[in-house]
Amino acid sequence: MKVYHTLEPIYNQNSKVLILGSIPSVKSREENFYYAHPRNRFWLTLSKVYNEEITDKKEFLLKHKIALFDVIKECDIEASSDSTIKNVIPNDLSEILENSEIEAIFTTGTKAYTLYQKYIYPKTKIEAIPLPSTSPANSKKDIEEILLESYLKIKDYTNK
């Protein structure tokens, strides 16, 4: 099924970190917001990283100098399965990079990292830092601990 990215990037001129997923899930497209599946641990993990309850997700991101977007502008995908992604057209990150203070780019999950390296890195020449997926499909043992440990790296850039 052909899917088009319909969510606007979240960032402002103070953003220091850009977090990129692959493409919004079915649930995220329905809810019109990033990481909307109730079992996705993205927001829970960020809440733990900053030791703060998240009441307004966009406000939280901007307060902590985090930009959020995805690698893919459009692709063929079955449901929300990254392993089925084909015929990728990448998003253009130039608007975000030119209008913010991005110092680091992180990708959530192996697919986002692989696609970033293939389609976007050749243009930006900014190395991405891969993070584990927060998807409910990533059910490795001790994933909560692994996520927190990995995502704490974000604070190295946002707490300056």
CA–CA dist 123, 139 (Å, integer): 33
Whether 40 is a known active-site residue: answer yes
* Per annotation, catalytic residue among 12, 40, 99, 138: 40
42-49 vs 143-151: helix crossing angle, rounded to 10: 60
Q: What is the pLDDT of residues 115-143, one digit of tens each?
A: 999 999 999 999 999 999 888 776 664 66
What CATH number does the domain containing 108 carry?
3.40.470.10
Domain count, the chain: 1
**42 phi, psi to nearest 5 deg:** -60, -55
Q: What is the pLDDT of residues 9-52, one digit of tens each?
A: 999 999 999 999 999 999 999 999 999 999 899 999 999 999 99
Domain span at 51: 2-158
